[in-house]
Amino acid sequence: MSTKRGVHAATFSIVGRCKRTKHLGVAVATKMPAVGGLCPFVRFGVGAVSSQAWLNPYLAVDILDRLAAGATAHLAVAETLPRDPHRALRQVGVVDAQGRSSAHTGAEVDGWAGHFTGPDFAAQGNVLVGKETVDAMARAFIAGAELELDERLLAALEAGQAAGGDKRGKQSAALVVHGPEVSPLVDLRVDDHPDPVVELRRIHTLCQKELFPYVASLPTRADPKGGTEAYRERWLRGDETP
């Protein structure tokens, strides 16, 4: 494998923004292990990116830097891609902090590959069974406007898997959502599993009870005390698991 081409991640993903909370996130699945450590890049107040196909992680970093400097999602992609000599092999999906979206699917990306963008999201995939996967993710995200962003992204990923997903099969999945604090609101990964999206849902359901309330109690810059004391009291009564 040529190091210039990068690592290949035949992947379907959705990047999204919550209009109400301004939270940003990525949900992704693929037939290779540990996709959560490769494709998602999120900076609250800046944007979210999934870099995939023959992925170049520096595309995501540079796009986020351009967004942080004030570029729109479309302009950040347009200004960053020309610096990559193998951009025809890359696929990226981007949403910025204002909900503007953009995507790029290179002409040499393998298998069926394409993307669908709209307000607050970009859905994309390569080496897919067909365009049904991307279309299903987009429809599910649009239909889930009343959901919290993590639920909305996960529902979209489930819809994409149900519509066919990665042509080669299933192996790993991830869900990442960031709010304004240093700790992510959600950072869940299934690195190797015969049905990773189903397993991701199981872990997410578990975390709704045991992890997410604890994360919500953590200190913040504005409130260094946070909700630790109240959470600890509930834990001592057996109401929570720290």
Q: Looking at the DSSP assignment, which residues form a beta bridge with residue 190?
A: 173
Enter the pTM of the model.
0.92
**pLDDT value at residue 1:** 31
**pLDDT value at residue 235:** 63
- Single out the residue of 163, 174, 219 nearest to residue 197, CA to CA: 174
Distance CA 227, CA 134 (A): 40
232 or 224: whose pLDDT is higher? 224
Domains assigned to the chain: 7-194 (3.60.20.10)
**What's the average model confidence in pLDDT over 181-190?**
96
* DSSP label of 120: T
Distance CA 202, CA 87 (A): 36
**pLDDT value at residue 3:** 37
Distance CA 29, CA 189 (A): 10
Distance CA 28, CA 12 (A): 6
Distance CA 209, CA 29 (A): 24
Each residue's pLDDT tens digit, 54-73: 999 999 999 999 999 999 99
Each residue's pLDDT tens digit, 129-181: 999 999 999 999 999 999 999 999 999 999 999 999 888 889 999 999 999 99
Phi-psi region of 10 (alpha: psi -120 to 50; beta: other; left: phi over 0): beta
**pLDDT value at residue 2:** 34
Give the pLDDT band (50/70/90) at residue 231: low
What does R_g of the chain's alpha carbons equal in angstroms? 18
* DSSP label of 33: S
Contact residues for 105 (Cβ-Cβ < 8 A; gap 6+): 53, 91, 113, 114, 115, 124, 126
Give the pLDDT band (50/70/90) at residue 21: very high
Residue 157, H or E segment: helix 149-162
Please identify which residue in the block is written with the tokens 């992947």.
11
**What's the average model confidence in pLDDT over 115-125?**
98
Q: What is the 3-state secondary structure (H, E, C) of 168-191?
A: CCCCEEEEEEECCCCCCCEEEEEC
Residue 10 above 80 pLDDT? no
